Chains A and B, each alone.
Chain A
Amino acid sequence: MTDQPDQPGQPGQPDQPGLGEVLRDLTPQVLGILVRRGADFAAAEDAVQEALVEALRHWPEPGGRPDNPRAWLVTVAGRKLVDAQRSAHARARRELRVHLEPGPGPAAQADDTLLLLSRCCHPALTPASAIALTLRAVGGLTTAQIAEAFLVPEATMAQRITRAKRTVSGQRFDRPGEVGAVLRVLYLVFNEGFSGTVDLAEEAIRLTRQLAAATDDPEVDGLLALMLLHHARRRARRTPAGAVVPLADQDRSSWDTAMVAEGVEVLQAALARDALGEYQAQAAIAALHDDAATAEETDWPQVLEWYDELIRLAPSPVVALNRAVAVGEVDGPLAALRLVEGLPADLPRRDAVAAWLHERAGDRDEAARRYRLAAERATNLAERDHLTRQASRLNRGPGPRAG
């Protein structure tokens, strides 16, 4: 089981418009077909990568593009798989040939998506391994692209993927695993945001769309809605220089209204099915923010109701902290501060929320002190810079509150 060299030519490459995109959509389908017919996952993944290399070599030639690209890839990948096993397992080859004969129906394809995702997000894998394997085996990204997105050397990422494949290899593929584990991994990919040349948020949305089309679970739709409702604000979240812009100060006219509309539609359809879960609740909160034309128009009482649901469905200190912000808006900063001070001292952003509430309560000195503490404990640069600016604004003496 080796990590195959990556195929050149990806979406956006000018000389092959659309080809990379087509191949990335077909990657999980082809892999799913091979795996469902009994091929070992790791071997099948290698075979699919080899078939993609062949496709990139032959399809751009005049008349090279096959009429049925998926069938072509299945045939070529199947042949690669047989070649790989020929010397070692002559008998297994004959059996495999028989398995590779039948064609897939649409229902089987839908099952494959969940089957593959649940295998790539297997609980035996660490989150980082699951993410890497998902992006390659289902997302169709190259090892080099994944390495760049996570700012590690390609050799390191290749090893991470190889180890992940070894871990899930030998696990049976006969039935899909838990959807929850898949949703957690997709959520993590989304939250990585954008670094390097690969937009991981977009990639997460693409994969979640595939999963939503293949499954019948309102929480999958809830996660898709959550992603769309947040991604709609991407242009407003940072200044051109990269500084963080808090929700209250964002230029709402730059939000993507079409994406908000789609997110709301997906969410409403999910909620109508009356099987509430944490992703639907989070999406509902995001939708209420997206719905307010100005920060002042935010329907905070309803936001708080959704946080009450969320904390019931998925209690955690992070949710409790975010809920405290809503309490601050509904019941005032002092009520919220009582909640915040009861949370663990090492909770990220706790001091930042406390600082904001102290300022609202009129205690500028304590607010400045807590902003400084929050800056010292920030786990990322953009947040630290933002918090330092807040502390310095308060330390420079009284004046109108600025973002």
Chain B
Amino acid sequence: MIDFYLNGKRQRCDDVPADTSILELLRTRLGQTGTKEGCASGDCGACTVAIGEPGDDGALRYQAANGCITPAHQLDGCHLVTVEGLARGDALHPAQAAMVECHASQCGFCTPGIVMSLFTLHEEQRRTPAPLSQQRLEEVLGGNLCRCTGYRPIRDAALSMNDYPDTHPLWADDPDLASNVAQLRAAKAASSGGGHYVAPRDLAALRKLKAEHPEARLVAGATDLWLETTQQLKALDDLIDVRQVAELNTIEETPQGWWIGAAVTYSRLEPLFGQHFPAFAHLLHRFASKQIRNRGTLGGNVANASPIGDSPPVLLALDARVSLDGPDGERELPLGDFFLDYKQTALGANEFIRAIFLPRPSDTQKLKVWKLSKRREDDISAVLGAFAWHLEGGAMRDVRLAFGGMAAIPKRAAAAEAALEGQAPSADAFAAARVALASDFQPMSDVRGSAEYRQVAASNLLERLRLMIDADSHHNANPEVTLHAYAH
């Protein structure tokens, strides 16, 4: 049974198949058709809903999610808010009122999703008001496609909604809602479900389930797995949800670096990356959409082993390690040894990723991450380059150049690295590296770019790197090497 709150009201749903999405539950089972399906692949945002879970202070925190690819079972013990739940009778929520007044809906089909994204922004602003920078708005709205308006009125609505009377939804009057949701979660934890969709709470339970149900698939954010059901029509009959496994949800800091639990979402990584890996943090802003980052996990991105996943090249450049867990205990290996071939990894039978280790960067380590895609926001890389190095006595050391989109797996450019290792960042050294790079990869042509383009673009990223280092060495504060929209 899925036991949750929907727009303030307790909702219990029995016999929900494991592979049911939130969107399907809402539309076909609960008759709530305000939430729309635009693509069923998490790319358009028409199905955006807000999922409320208790924060550290006990109050509910609402995060946007794509209803079309989020498992309905993940609603267990949550408060789901949909577009039907915002208005207070005839009085519109500020996000809604602003959308109307700014003429920000035309056909109206994307509108419920946009309203829900704005609702999560409004909630954040109520809690901790902060300036609505363009970047912040892009983060909130980049995952909501609108084909009619051209977005200007939506921007105006986002900028003006806090000027409207703060009309609360009716459910916000209920002082017990947060504690009721918390109690529901606690009760669920005690009973720890059964059936075809199970959500263990600790590592021991996960190991046991995985051993007993070797056929069951692991699911965390479901942001890729769910496409198997919505796009390929595969049945996902048996699922083990790792989102609530306590040990997989920690970020453990050590003097050497950070162990990031496999179920930690991208949204949770933003502060850590922002402080220690600004280039990685910047990539996160262009990593899918807020809806995806709220659900997707670093462990999932690594386990998925896509050649165009955005985090693996960065992790390779940072010399990350993975900790695998399973029936035969734990083992650790360098990430470079994890990716074997296209979508093939070193994960053994019944093994799972427990955590990913990011070494603490030294003061002299540099990191640059550049993602090339057709569209700046919410797109998949044609080429992604992640470059780490130190400058010691004028020479480049520990040069790690990792690429996505250039091979069947995320991969370092060994020959190009060798050409730079120990060299001064001179035009000659980089020219040699660019020549070497051609031998490192034989990229393929696909929908995101031709082989020729990938080769040229990857090579040019090395030239960009040279220009950047050159500008840094001359303390040029504003090197005109990248566009503002893409600049770190």
Do A and B pair up? The answer is no
Query: Which residues of A are interface residues toward B (Cβ below 8 A)?
Result: none
